Amino acid sequence: MAVGVTVGFVFAAERRQLILEMVRANGAVSLRELARVVQTSEVTVRRDVRALEAEGLLDRRHGGAVLPGGFTRESGFPQKSHLATAEKTAIADLAAGFVEEGEAVVVGAGTTTQELARRLARVPGLTVVTNSLLVAQALAHANRVEVVMTGGTLRGSNYALVGSGAEQSLHGLRVSRAFLSGSGLTAERGLSTSNMLSASVDRALVQAAAEVVVLADHTKLGTDTMFQTVPTDVITRLVTDEPPPHDDRAATELQALADQGVHISVAGPGAGSGSGPAGVAGGGEAVPPSRRRDVPLPGQRRTHPLGPGQSPGPGQGGPGGPQLRSAVSMGDQATARVADLAPRRR
């Protein structure tokens, strides 16, 4: 059954069969999407998913469900493109606000980064280095954006260039920011993916950037996959969506990431529309607009955020560089629903 097809009232057994078919077809599906398709509440869907997990038919993840053995399985682009579409749009809207005119950035492969690329097409004087055919396609008709493709071998499942050719083409490159997504994100291991070749190229993209911005929707929080791409202490910022109200584990994971010095920017359902309420921090506390800010990273960090026209020094963004602007002060993002979690004092 394809995601996006709605059904009428069904009994529990039929509903669970529909949920199982959706997960089998897509590899992973968020609770929000499951509840929308089977036309019931997330609480009911969560109970159904728990029952199916007890039977060994699927595995639960934060805010969603995956096939058993999801630690090694990776969905292809057709399946991923239908997952958490609203969340990816909100994340892309917010992340685009961190890119300034005249910058040079790298953008990795993925459906969320593809959404970001569509918004970067409006940034004049931008240079985008990517190994993703989908990212390049999204920017192909942007008159004032220069696109630089890596070399490499095409990986058809996600339309990305991988292998030694891709990695070698990134040697000696230096840009201000890298925007990456992956299959899972934990405070313990950082960003990870299910494919070894993709992980290797992502590491090369990270090495080329002064700071690293991870784009991951709430269903990936707490999910760990085979190959680590970005350790937690290298991640400068996470841009994610607001977890469901009852997803305490996702909120705990966000706070754990913040405790390790990662800036957390959360885009809610109202992002970009101007209709959303004030941002809510991971623990549920409302954050007044006047208090939303970027919290300085504790201790020795790999980079400093860069401003437009600044060149990063060796291994960092250069001493004394200005901090990233608060997401709520960035042009079109002024109406985004954002919460920046501050690291707890130890």
* pTM score over 0.85: no
CATH 2.30.30.100 assigned to 85-341:
no
Positions in the chain whose pLDDT score sits under 50: 1-9, 70-82, 270-340, 342-346
In this prediction, residue 321 carries a pLDDT of: 36
User: How far, CA to CA in Å, does 83 sit from each of 63, 75, 267, 273, 312?
Assistant: 12, 10, 17, 21, 36
SS3 state at 210: strand
In this prediction, residue 314 carries a pLDDT of: 41
In this prediction, residue 283 carries a pLDDT of: 32
In this prediction, residue 58 carries a pLDDT of: 82
Rounded Cα distance, 333 and 327, in Å: 7
- Residue positions counted in the chain: 346
In this prediction, residue 313 carries a pLDDT of: 46
Q: What are the tokens at 71?
A: 């630690």
Rounded Cα distance, 338 and 274, in Å: 12
In this prediction, residue 224 carries a pLDDT of: 84
CATH fold label, 12-70: Arc Repressor Mutant, subunit A (1.10.10)
Q: State which amino acid sits at residue 279.
A: G
In this prediction, residue 116 carries a pLDDT of: 96
Q: Where are the domains of the chain?
A: 12-70, 85-341
